[in-house]
Chains A and B, each alone.
Chain A
Amino acid sequence: MSYVNRIVRAKLRRRPEPEHFGLNIYPMMDMLTILLVYMMALFATSSAAAIQQSSELRIPYSTSQVEMSEALGVQISRSGVAVDGKPVLELRNGIVDPSLKQGGSSGFLITPLYKTLSDIRDRKKRTAQKFANQPFVGNVQIIADKRTPYRTLSEVIYTLGQTEFKNLRFVVNKKTK
């Protein structure tokens, strides 16, 4: 049996060492990880990432080349109005129910929207008092469906004006010239 074991050991000694011929993917992984972190940081500061177009929300096209900036988001779809992603009131074919307006059908001030915006304004003003580098400037980003009637839009804008949100930025799809 010792003779057989000697043969086994001799054969094992003769066996070549396995070669390391695989591609070194560590640099690629480093690169991808850096890219991933950069993109996630970019998305964390981009409010536009939240805009999802659908049959209820089709954004119009414009030749404007102004880049998006950070502001309070007011979304007007065919079925409702949302502030910072939270639904505030429902619309019927893009029209505000007269019972939700101060003064009925001829009114412009949308009561639930006014209440929500007033709360946000007060909160932002409190923050502005504490932090001098975050002043309240009244910027608002309007993301509206292209079929929204001007009446509804002007009611929302009027309510925004009453709550001191006066700098309007309409989000549009960039049209190539």
Chain B
Amino acid sequence: MPARLTPRQRAYVRKRTIVPDLDPSELSEELNIVPFLDIVVNIVMFLLMTLTTVAFFSQVEAALPEYRKGGIGKRAAADEALNLNVTVTREGIVVSGSGGKLARGCTTTAPGKVMTVPAGMNGEHDWKGLTTCVRRVKEQFQDESRVTVSADPEVPYEDLISAMDAVRGDDNDLFPDVLLSAGIR
């Protein structure tokens, strides 16, 4: 027959049989890797965001004109070449070749100061007009792929890139081999 417990004995039993409220990771007696996981997730997030920024960059390729010693045969070949030049100025874009400067419309040449693709009223350049112009040139010189791009000293770099985009065409189908000249006229 069990004896009745005194209050002191009941308190002792309660104290000895209490169940501690432990963390699951403590119960399994393993290393708590959750803080480490938090750090790794944060680093991955940061790298993913930076990677998106990197993916937005591309590059435009160009080269410098080369100085070559010319012979009689080479000179004759050079005379037959198109030697397409595109010069960006504040007033507009001048397109020229071995035959001279192209007039507006890009079908005939014209002497003197000519703007092949004049700038708009606010000074903005007509890049689509330049693409249309060089496309007409390309139709007559299908084998040519080289163009020399230059600009006036005060023209911003942004306009140079736009000119290179315009002469290259949407699918690199016009004049993808771009040379840069110093722009001295």
Contact = CB atoms under 8 A, between A and B. Distances in A.
Interface residues of A, number: 64
Interface in A1-32: 3-4, 7-8, 11-12, 15, 18, 20-22, 25-26, 28-29, 32
A29 B62 contact: no
B156 to A, nearest CB: 5
A151 B16 CA distance: 88
Interface in B49-100: 50-51, 54-64, 66, 88
A41 B173 CA distance: 36
A68 interface: yes
Interface of B: 2-3, 5, 9, 12-13, 16-17, 19, 22, 24-25, 27-28, 33-34, 36-37, 40-41, 43-44, 47-48, 50-51, 54-64, 66, 88, 150-158, 160-162, 164-165, 168, 170, 180, 182-183
Contacts of A75: none
B180 A157 contact: yes
Given A32-B37, A67-B58, A168-B64, 15 more contacts: A8-B17, A15-B17, A29-B40, A36-B44, A43-B51, A60-B157, A64-B168, A145-B157, A148-B157, A166-B63, A168-B62, A169-B60, A170-B61, A172-B59, A173-B56
Contacts of A173: 56-58
B165 to A, nearest CB: 5
15 contacts: A62-B164, A62-B165, A65-B58, A69-B59, A145-B157, A146-B158, A147-B157, A150-B150, A150-B154, A157-B182, A169-B61, A170-B60, A170-B161, A171-B58, A171-B59
A116 interface: no
A63 B59 contact: no
B73 to A, nearest CB: 25
B24 A149 contact: no
